[in-house]
Copies of this chain bind each other. A is one copy, B any other.
């Protein structure tokens, strides 16, 4: 591609997504298949694709729908799934992941998608994109299938950091509501703080402090705070955003996924148990497929890193075309809504808000 072509692509009124083609378990062919699927559904999307140029050119050439919509950037190295994040940070300049993130840093794309090593992606994103002013700990937000009409709840942090104090939890509430507005289209998200009981005197000290900080901030930041919620409420329709520290959130997310997988396996066994049940499975095929789609982890694919100068969507390492395409869809929606700028504003406003709230709280106890 000539420099002229490249400039033309950049100038086109399309949303550009920077994609790390090399990181996932299934290699670049699954990634390119996912991009083709997204491109087929959405004419307003184009890609900057990072990885091994000859391989990517061959894969892209096979997909007619990608013609003229993919700009390939060569990267010699790949971040492996077991690479140490600190090693990648020091020596990863030639990896496709680094290149994909730097594309956002340079302003060529508003959002980056990768199926690669989560720890390395998080660390590189923080180092290269830097934290938004006022953000202490960036967070990873995930979507959880729920009883809500829009089908998902947002939970954060699910693993960016194993700690969070009350100020971090307040920022998570603000970042989470901003994400729910721009990613799920909710005007006034309802926020719950994860705890082991719903009574106000329960749980750890930082949770009680966070409870008051978030409550004081809710009106000004235009969300509803429903107070403490329990693990069983994560998929409920009484909240849209679940706030927790990255240790608890990660365990809860994986415990939920593990339970869903276990039930799925048991269900398959149950339907294979007798000839009658196999016929039943056939008859219920459409209904079961709809059920599967509703709880398919690939559809909620795409943890989002929040709190950086730019948005990074982490797709499951084992993502296939469906998973990659879901992550790209999410990235597109966030890019379209100008999410990064909105989030930055939200956090900046809150930084002042929190000072006021702290002063007010101090006043009230005097």
Contact = CB atoms under 8 A, between A and B. Distances in A.
Interface string A222-264: 0000000011111110000000101110111111111111110
Contacts of A41: none
Nearest to A274: B287
Contacts of A235: 258-259, 262
Contact of A277 (B231, B248, B265, B287): B287
Interface stretch (A22-30, A44-52, A290-298): A290-298
Nearest to A118: B197
Contacts of A261: 232
Contacts of A233: 258
B266 A254 contact: no
Contacts of A271: 284, 287
Integer count of this chain's copies in the complex? 2
Contacts of A194: 251
A169 B232 CA distance: 24
A203 interface: yes
A281 B262 CA distance: 20
A361 interface: no
B231 A262 contact: no
Interface string A271-313: 1011011011111101110110011000000000000000000
Contacts of A270: 284, 287-288, 290-291
Contacts of A273: 286-287, 290
Nearest to A203: B162
Given A258-B256, A284-B271, A204 B251 contact: no
A145 interface: yes
Given A146-B262, A194-B251, A270-B288, 20 more contacts: A196-B251, A203-B247, A204-B247, A230-B251, A231-B250, A231-B251, A231-B252, A234-B255, A235-B258, A236-B258, A263-B263, A266-B295, A269-B291, A270-B284, A270-B290, A273-B290, A274-B286, A277-B283, A280-B282, A284-B284
Interface of A: 145-147, 159, 162-163, 194, 196, 203-204, 230-236, 244, 246-248, 250-263, 265-267, 269-271, 273-274, 276-277, 279-284, 286-288, 290-291, 294-295
7 contacts: A196-B250, A232-B254, A255-B255, A263-B263, A270-B290, A271-B284, A277-B286
